[in-house]
Amino acid sequence: MGNIKFKSYSNHNYRKIPQMSLLSEEEKFTIDVVGSVLPFKVNNYVIDELIDWDNFSTDPIYILTFPQKGMLSEKHFAKVANLIKVGADKTEIKKVTDEIRLQLNPAPAGQSSNVPEVNGEKLPGVQHKYRETMLFFPQQGQTCHAYCTFCFRWPQFTQMDEMKFAMKEIELVIEYLKQHTKITDFLFTGGDPMVMKSKIFGAYVDALIDADIPHLKTIRIGTKSLAYWPYRYTHDKDAPELLATIKKAVDMGIHVSFMGHFNHYAELKTKAVKDAIKAIQSTGAIIRTQSPVMRNINADANVWATMWRKQVDLGLIPYYMFLARDTGAQDYFSVPIVEAWDVFREAYKKVSGIVRTVKGPSMSANPGKVQVLGVVKIHGKKYFNLQFVQGRNPDWVGRPFFAKYDEKAIWIDDLYPALGEEEFFFEEYLNRDNKVADEIISNIE
Ligand SMILES: *Cc1c(COP(=O)(O)O)cnc(C)c1O
Ligand code: SF4
């Protein structure tokens, strides 16, 4: 077993990591440059137990956590590299890195336009996009045990305060929940809500339980902690308190689902993660899993088939495969839609029906979660067939629709209607004023 005392590293102190002696000065300089624009954080568990240091430069977990040169455009890289080389002061560097971040689409999928209100007050820590599910970003969960290089929530970690969705007041959240009787799922998200102290998390859950909301059926916890810090459930001082809170919710009849973020089967290999999974399962909670397909990390059907298979062996339920979001270092990580579908299908083909609970590949875009059903040939011509698995308008879900085939397309913005249609069926609605649109949604039966 590794060291169970949490120790984290960022671009300010990563040179103290013993394994850094394996890197050339140039490789370290790359970390300095990219790490000053996109968030970088890693910890002793990831370093000592997950990364294969004999092959670090191609190791998926290394690429998942350590900044890579290709994550910035050549122009942006050169700009920051020059500033660091000439010893520019911090404010000057920050001005440039902030400018670059703004060019990297920091709020994809219209995130900032989903801020709901209750009795005239804004709830900046809440997102309510799909009728049944409310997302809550507790203020104390706005970080992670380590950061993924492809993270789409990265502006929340880079002190760009105006883009944070955090909030404190659970009372308003509960009021909102009470007023929206169609919400069945309450999803704690972040950052990673499991970085919260058990006491704070417990207070939130207690407030939800005490409010006794009949339509609240499920509490979900979106977390990467099983992969990045499994000791959260077994060795952290307040681990027993956390498990007790979860068990309490389960015993009250609430379905508690961990939405575990796993990107590679390497994250499932340690005794620590297996013990953590057992600890969670002992409360009666279920663990579902999700991940994007990422070039340089997991864009390989064998990786997915192995990962899903191992998850099921451990009692986990594969849930979502995503495409790389249109933010941050998307150019470095994204694979074309057609390639992601290929990875999905090849992996899906390899596993038994029990493993095929997974949905994907799916794009979390402004109108909703769009699943790529596949490529269809009609009269010798190829088309994409897609469908919503979640929609701003629930009525869009489960209606297959077509788009022109484009082997280079990587995101829904690259797609165009096919077969004589002038626009996608949902576009007329999307083009209306957002507020009107949201009202329509909340009134749909
Ligand atoms: C993915 C997502 C959810 C949850 O969707 P499910 O399909 O129910 O898992 C809820 N809200 C937002 C904004 C999401 O992106
Ligand atoms: S765990 Fe999720 S929120 Fe945290 S860095 Fe990774 S992708 Fe971002």
Q: What is the pLDDT of residues 371-415, one digit of tens each?
A: 999 999 999 999 999 999 999 999 999 999 999 999 999 999 999
Q: How far is the CA of 130 from the centre of ligand 1 (A)?
A: 7
Q: Can you tell me the distance from the alpha carbon of 388 to that of 370, in angstroms, rounded to the nearest whole number? A: 4
Task: Specify the residue with its C-alpha closest to ligand 2, atom 7.
Answer: 151
Q: How far is the CA of 53 from the centre of ligand 2 (A)?
A: 22
The continuous run of DSSP H or E covering 388 comes out as strand 381-391
Q: How far is the CA of 289 from the centre of ligand 2 (A)?
A: 14
| Closest ligand to Cα 389 | 1
What is the band of 428 on the pLDDT scale with cuts at 50, 70, 90? confident
Is position 319 within any domain? Answer: no
Which of 99-103, 121-125, 376-380 is most confident? 376-380
Q: How far is the CA of 20 from the centre of ligand 2 (A)?
A: 23
Is position 90 within any domain? Answer: yes
Alpha helices in 10-155 (DSSP H): 25-37, 44-45, 60-65, 74-85, 90-102
- Give the residues surrounding ligand 1 with Cβ less than 6 Å away: 127, 129-130, 133, 135, 364, 369, 389-390
Cβ(70)–Cβ(332) under 8 Å?
yes
DSSP type of residue 319: E
Is it the case that residue 240 has pLDDT exceeding 80?
Answer: yes
Is position 34 within any domain? Answer: yes
Average pLDDT estimate for 78-107 = 92
Q: What's the pLDDT at 168?
A: 56
Written as six digits, the tokens of 154 are 């990265």
Is position 314 within any domain? Answer: no
Q: What's the pLDDT at 162?
A: 43
Give the distance from CA 154 to its chain's centroid.
10
What is the band of 163 on the pLDDT scale with cuts at 50, 70, 90? very low
Average pLDDT estimate for 353-368 = 96
Average pLDDT estimate for 11-32 = 96
Reference 276, options 242, 252, 304, 308; nearest CA is 242
Give φ, ψ of 172 to 5 degrees.
-65, -35
Is position 344 within any domain? Answer: no
Print the domain residue range for 18.
8-102
Is position 55 within any domain? Answer: yes
Is position 76 within any domain? Answer: yes
The reply to whether ligand 2 has any atom less than 6 angstroms from the CB of 224 is yes
Residues in the chain: 445
Give φ, ψ of 80 to 5 degrees.
-70, -40
The reply to whether ligand 2 has any atom less than 6 angstroms from the CB of 148 is yes
pLDDT tens-digit map of 164-201:
444 457 888 999 999 999 999 999 998 999 999 999 99
| Closest ligand to Cα 226 | 2
- Total domains in the fold of the chain: 1
Q: How far is the CA of 320 from the centre of ligand 1 (A)?
A: 10
Q: What's the pLDDT at 82?
A: 97
Say which residue, 282 or 106, is predicted with more confidence: 282
Q: Please, what is the average pLDDT of the chain?
A: 92
**CA torsion 181→185→186→190, rounded to 10°?**
-140
Is position 120 within any domain? Answer: no
Q: Can you tell me the distance from the alpha carbon of 76 to that of 33, in angstroms, rounded to the nearest whole number? A: 10
